[in-house]
Amino acid sequence: MQQGSSDSTNEHLTSKNRNKYILGMAYFYVLLFIGLIGYMCYFMMYQSNEYLNSTYNKRLDKLSESVTRGSILASDGSTLADTTVNRDKSVTRNYPYKNQFAQVVGYSTRGQTGIEAITNYTLLNTSEDTWSKIKKQIFDEPIYGNSVVTTLNPKIQKIVYDAMGDKKGACVVMEPSTGRILAMVSKPDYNPNKINQIYDELVSDNKNSNLVNRATRGQYSPGSTFKIVTLLEYIKENPDTYEDFSYNCTGSITYEGKTVKCSHGAHGVVNLKQAFAKSCNGAFITMGLSLNMRSFRKTAKTLLFNDSIPFEISSKQSSFDLTSKSSDWDIMQTVFGQGKTLVTPLHNALILSAIANGGVLMKPYVVESIQSPSGKEVDKVLPETYKTLMSPKEAEILKEYMVYCVNRGTGKVVKTKKYQAAAKTGSAETKSTSEANAWFVSFAPADEAKVVVSVVLEEAGAGGENAGPIAKKVFDALLVD
């Protein structure tokens, strides 16, 4: 009885174990299956385009043999790049705007860059219907790939391109409410129609780096445009008392044996708003030395410093170097935009966009829609929220200070009765040259901003006088004419 009972218990246990085992295996396979499905979804959603667009993907080489590369169009429908098939069946890639869109549109015959790179698969894939494909094959006509319609506005691109003249630098024009990039100019440039002839020479020219898109990959010292970040941190750390700030500027500040000058002489007694609008280095250094470096680093990170920039076209990160171990001299330099901080013109445009958009950054984008070769829309990109960079209240305060900078400070070059702009100037000293890099970051109209302009001109001097007029021309074209 005892024995029997024990046997039956054992049997019961064994069968229980077996059931457990089977159940375990079932769970395992179900999880494996879910994992597989999950990965496939992830791949389709996020990585497939990357894979398909990869220059290592051999399938694209095959596609390019049967499909003629599609066109890249501007937002007004004009052609930024297209391909003609010559009599001998060879193909020529044409860029009607020549140098103007060089880096942002890119090239496709010596590897791919710019929009040519990010839409490589789309341009070589066709949504042409089967019947017309067959017809074209019978009559030996080229089958074109799909076209890409971009957000780029040729009128604005030309205004910026002309206004920058022969200065090196970059400019990004962006719509803060959507993230659409309206213009992206980088100088010096090149003529993409001649890329095969000039490529080797351009690649070896490290001094000018014409092939580099300085808007997304140019890392510049931010100069006083960085005072926006320092100001934000000061307001965050002193939410109830920041308006009580006062500083008596004598034209320079000395701390522990190191002296920093103000570029416009003595500012006298300034409150926080005046210190920002007049770009008083002494006031910002005084504020900066009071800041909590861990908190400052966190704020910089939230503003996308030391982080990847959410843009389809290859972009460099901006860097912010202060930590709780930084020396006072490093802090003094960094808070007014010198020191080791580096920022790209695109990144500055994103910070401004968030300020203009109540603290919310919309994901910047340059591809608006995909069209079949016959012009039918087959896909459309919709604006997408990327991240909240600051609270609506903080954005409102920064905006108010930037408006004051236009009305009563260094940003007066964009002051007009026709619209109210908000701006910050910067003149970033570089070690190698005597003239500073001129920065001007701005948006307009201050309330319900339609456009952000971020511009840097290398070795051009003061930001307001030299880079400011470019923003003014863009605002006039978009908001007045």
Contact residues: Zn ion, CB under 5 A:
249, 262, 267, 280, 282
Cβ(261)–Cβ(254) below 8 Å: no
The DSSP string of 175-203 is -TTT-BEEEEEEES---GGGHHHHHHHHH
Closer to Zn ion by Cβ: residue 249 or 398: 249
Shortest distance, position 445 Cβ to Zn ion, whole Å: 29
Shortest distance, position 291 Cβ to Zn ion, whole Å: 18
Write the CA distances from 200 to 94, 116, 193, 217, integer angstroms: 19, 19, 14, 20
Shortest distance, position 242 Cβ to Zn ion, whole Å: 18
Write the CA distances from 298 to 25, 316, 381, integer angstroms: 45, 20, 32
Closer to Zn ion by Cβ: residue 23 or 266: 266
Closer to Zn ion by Cβ: residue 282 or 468: 282
The DSSP string of 245-269 is -EEEE-SEEEETTEEEE-TTS--EE
Shortest distance, position 332 Cβ to Zn ion, whole Å: 14
Closer to Zn ion by Cβ: residue 282 or 345: 282
Type of residue numbered 325: K
Phi, then psi, of 19 in degrees rounded to 5: -60, -40
Closer to Zn ion by Cβ: residue 103 or 281: 281
The DSSP string of 161-180 is HHHHTT--EEEEEE-TTT-B
Shortest distance, position 253 Cβ to Zn ion, whole Å: 8
| 306 torsion bin: left (phi>0), alpha (psi -120 to 50), beta (else) | left
Strand partners, 439: 426, 456
Q: Helices (H) and strands (E) in the chain — how many of each?
A: 19, 17
Closer to Zn ion by Cβ: residue 96 or 251: 251
Closer to Zn ion by Cβ: residue 274 or 371: 274
Shortest distance, position 441 Cβ to Zn ion, whole Å: 20
What is the β-pairing status of strands 72-73 and 79-85? antiparallel
Shortest distance, position 281 Cβ to Zn ion, whole Å: 6
